[in-house]
């Protein structure tokens, strides 16, 4: 008995059975779910017009051209079937024809939808009604069922056809959410260590592919999605180029990010033991500081690739400065966070980015509290970041009694608080009548001179006590001494008036002596 063995029949026994039925005249229906298999098996079995008219090859070709390529949903279904028919389906150009058909159809539907949203304004000008929902993007959900390599080719074709960037972005978001949530956990939550490197290969490929397909235009995808991709790229050890590209994209629109966005976890393989990935955030801040916000949307990829220094707008700077100060306050309690990394984040933005330094002062104070053993020199480096003149009245009052600050910083706070008090007196005097104003000015001038002279004397005493403190600390090495000295500084009332607060100085006798000296000094200057 003659036996013929067919090896690697496209579509297997099912497609061969359909081909046999066709040969014996048994009717069956060609559909979008079997046309790809029939097309491939007809080529494999050489069922062409050369051997018989209206053969299986021409029948499937006709169905593919007239029916499938006119319908977007059918094209997607055929592409799904082609996944098990590679590479033959690609060689027979079934895949490329379906991809071109989908891209053309999606573009045509978007154009039609855009025309339907055109309307005339009250002034007679033609404009696009942006409040009307666009109906041309219904295909976004359908494309998420295609495997990643075919999806990549399809999105590339849609870009070339001119499909809107925001539609491309919506499709990428939808595809990523479906593909990257198929597995319950890529990581061990307790240890933040990798569970199985082999099991993450597909997810890594998806992330890297989506990053490569992102539109270059700003706001084409939500910035929260970009941060989600970045976290995934860090977890999955994606290529450095992918991560840097994401960081550049995020940096170009960092002013719309939230605190939750930039709190990127640090995994154990990072090696520094910190809770958050501070290095990545610092690189994003550098990209933000160098990006050019004056041209609006990004027109080409050169925006991400340029190394020339650029400047963001002042409004964006203010927003990012608030974001950075909140981020510093969030990471400051981490005992493993080294000072250079904290300083690196705080110093990335230019000085004019902050109009008020309350947020920065709060973050530094939290860091000092979480790192009590920080050397005095490091405390000074931290506090040099603060412009105490830009503290609010409440923050200034807190800083004046903050025992964690270096003494030099406290002196600066007291000085600027004194200036604030002087300016307040000046504003009050300006609102009075000329006669009252003149008398008040002489009285307040004398009081200010008394107060300034008293402050000089108190500062001299403070410096002397500071020298004594250093000497005592070397001898005793006692932290209790430092705390008691700090409390003593906090009790000094450098803003009280001599006429009503005689008991605010360390001793009444010394206050009386000081007052006589001060009065003689002021009398000589009148």
Per the rule left: phi > 0, alpha: psi between -120 and 50, beta: everything else, 48 is beta
What's the whole-number mean pLDDT along residues 433-454? Answer: 65
What pLDDT shows up at residue 440? 65
The tally of CA atoms less than 13 A away on the side-chain side of residue 190 is 0
* Percent of the chain with pLDDT strictly greater than 70: 68
Under the banding of pLDDT at 50, 70 and 90, the label for residue 434 is low
What pLDDT shows up at residue 102? 94
Residue predicted with more confidence, 497 or 12: 12
What pLDDT shows up at residue 323? 97
What are the CA-CA distances from residue 72 to residues 101, 109, 245, 396 (Å)?
Answer: 7, 11, 32, 65
What's the whole-number mean pLDDT along residues 334-346? Answer: 94
What pLDDT shows up at residue 139? 85
Percent of residues in the chain assigned helix, strand, coil, to nearest 5: 65, 0, 35
Task: Record the tokens describing residue 174, joined without a space.
Answer: 């939808």
* Closest of 143, 422, 514 to residue 504, by C-alpha: 514
What pLDDT shows up at residue 274? 87
CA 258, chain centre distance (Å): 7
What pLDDT shows up at residue 427? 62
- CA dist., res. 51 & res. 54, Å (int): 10
What's the whole-number mean pLDDT along residues 461-479? Answer: 59
Under the banding of pLDDT at 50, 70 and 90, the label for residue 60 is very high
Best mean pLDDT range from 29-43, 306-320, 389-403, 445-459: 29-43
Which of the 8 DSSP states describes residue 265? B
3-state SS class at 435: helix
Taking only Cα atoms into account, the Rg of the chain, rounded to an integer number of angstroms, comes to 37
Task: Sketch the domain layout of the chain as residue ranges.
Answer: 1-113+140-157, 164-252, 274-292+312-432
Under the banding of pLDDT at 50, 70 and 90, the label for residue 190 is very low
3-state SS class at 187: strand
What pLDDT shows up at residue 269? 52
Under the banding of pLDDT at 50, 70 and 90, the label for residue 382 is very high
| Mean pLDDT over each residue of the chain, to the nearest integer | 78
- CA dist., res. 218 & res. 319, Å (int): 18
What pLDDT shows up at residue 120? 53
Under the banding of pLDDT at 50, 70 and 90, the label for residue 53 is confident
Q: Which stretches within 117-222 are classed as H helix?
A: 140-143, 148-161, 165-179, 201-213
What are the CA-CA distances from residue 303 to residues 133, 241, 285 (Å)?
Answer: 31, 15, 16
- CA dist., res. 42 & res. 480, Å (int): 91
What's the whole-number mean pLDDT along residues 457-471? Answer: 65
Burial class for 9, CB neighbours closer than 10 Å (0-12, 13-18, 19+): middle
3-state SS class at 500: coil
Q: Which helix (H) or strand (E) holds 346?
A: helix 339-346
Under the banding of pLDDT at 50, 70 and 90, the label for residue 207 is very high
The residue count of the chain comes to 526
What pLDDT shows up at residue 393? 87
pLDDT digits (tens, 9 = 90+) for 72-88: 999 999 999 999 999 99
Cβ neighbours for 81, distance < 8 A, ≥ 6 positions apart? 32, 33, 34, 35, 36, 37
What's the whole-number mean pLDDT along residues 185-193? Answer: 41
pLDDT digits (tens, 9 = 90+) for 86-138: 999 999 999 999 999 999 988 888 887 665 555 555 665 655 555 444 555 77
pLDDT digits (tens, 9 = 90+) for 294-325: 444 444 444 444 444 456 788 999 999 999 99
Q: How many angstroms separate the most distant Cα atoms in the chain? A: 133
- CA dist., res. 79 & res. 32, Å (int): 9
Under the banding of pLDDT at 50, 70 and 90, the label for residue 222 is very high
What pLDDT shows up at residue 437? 59
Q: Using the predicted structure, report yes or no on whether residue 270 has a pLDDT greater than 60.
A: no
What's the whole-number mean pLDDT along residues 39-52? Answer: 90
Q: Using alpha carbons only, give the angle 325, 331, 333 rounded to the nearest 5 degrees.
A: 115
pTM above 0.75, yes or no: no
What pLDDT shows up at residue 51? 83
What's the whole-number mean pLDDT along residues 509-526? Answer: 40
Under the banding of pLDDT at 50, 70 and 90, the label for residue 293 is very low
Q: Which stretches within 236-301 are classed as H helix?
A: 240-251, 259-262, 278-290
What pLDDT shows up at residue 245? 95
Cβ neighbours for 140, distance < 8 A, ≥ 6 positions apart? 167, 170, 171, 174
- CA dist., res. 465 & res. 482, Å (int): 12
């Amino acid at each position: 008995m003659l036996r013929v063995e067919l090896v690697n029949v496209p579509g297997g026994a099912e497609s061969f059975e359909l081909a046999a039925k066709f040969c014996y005249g048994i009717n069956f229906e060609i559909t979008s779910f079997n046309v790809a298999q029939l097309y491939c098996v007809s080529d494999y079995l050489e069922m062409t017009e050369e051997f018989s008219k209206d053969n299986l090859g021409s029948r499937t070709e006709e169905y593919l051209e007239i029916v499938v390529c006119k319908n977007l949903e059918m094209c997607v279904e055929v592409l799904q079937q082609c996944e098990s028919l590679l590479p033959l389906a690609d060689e027979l150009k079934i895949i490329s024809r379906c991809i071109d058909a989908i891209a053309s159809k999606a573009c045509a539907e978007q154009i039609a939808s855009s025309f339907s949203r055109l309307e005339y304004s009250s002034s007679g000008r033609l404009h696009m009604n942006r409040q009307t929902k666009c109906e041309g993007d219904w295909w976004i959900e359908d494309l998420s069922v295609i495997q990643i390599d075919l999806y990549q080719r399809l999105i590339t074709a849609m870009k070339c056809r001119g499909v809107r960037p925001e539609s491309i972005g919506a499709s990428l978001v939808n595809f990523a959410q479906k593909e990257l949530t198929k597995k319950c956990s890529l990581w061990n939550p307790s240890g933040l260590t990798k569970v199985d490197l082999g099991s993450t290969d597909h997810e890594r490929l998806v992330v890297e592919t989506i990053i490569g397909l992102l539109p270059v235009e700003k706001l084409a995808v939500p910035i929260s999605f970009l941060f989600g991709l970045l976290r995934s790229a860090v977890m999955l050890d994606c290529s450095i180029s992918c991560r840097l590209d994401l960081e550049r994209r995020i940096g170009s629109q960092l002013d719309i990010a939230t605190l939750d966005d930039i709190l990127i976890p640090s995994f154990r393989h990072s090696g520094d033991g910190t809770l958050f990935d501070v290095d990545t955030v610092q690189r994003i801040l550098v990209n933000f500081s160098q990006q050019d916000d004056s041209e609006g949307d990004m027109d080409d990829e050169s925006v991400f690739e340029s190394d020339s220094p650029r400047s963001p707008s002042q409004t964006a700077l203010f927003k990012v400065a608030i974001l950075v100060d909140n981020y510093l306050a969030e990471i400051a309690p981490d005992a493993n966070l080294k000072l250079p990394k904290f300083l690196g984040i705080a110093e990335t933005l230019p000085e004019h980015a902050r109009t008020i330094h309350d947020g920065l002062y709060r973050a530094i104070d939290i860091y000092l509290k979480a790192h009590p053993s920080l050397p005095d020199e490091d405390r000074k480096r931290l506090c040099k970041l603060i412009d105490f003149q830009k503290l609010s009245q409440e923050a200034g009052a807190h800083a004046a009694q903050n025992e964690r600050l270096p003494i030099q910083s406290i002196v600066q706070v007291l000085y600027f608080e004194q200036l604030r008090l002087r300016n307040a007196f000046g504003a009050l005097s300006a609102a009075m009548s000329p006669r009252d104003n003149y008398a008040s000015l002489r009285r307040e001038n004398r009081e200010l001179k008394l107060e300034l002279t008293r402050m000089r004397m108190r500062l001299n005493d403070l410096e002397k006590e500071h020298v004594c403190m250093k000497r005592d600390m070397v001898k005793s090495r006692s932290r209790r001494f430092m705390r008691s000295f700090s409390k003593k500084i906090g009790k000094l009332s450098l803003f009280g008036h001599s006429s009503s607060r005689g008991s605010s100085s360390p001793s009444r006798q010394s206050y009386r002596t000081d007052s006589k000296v001060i009065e003689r000094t002021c009398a000589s200057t009148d």
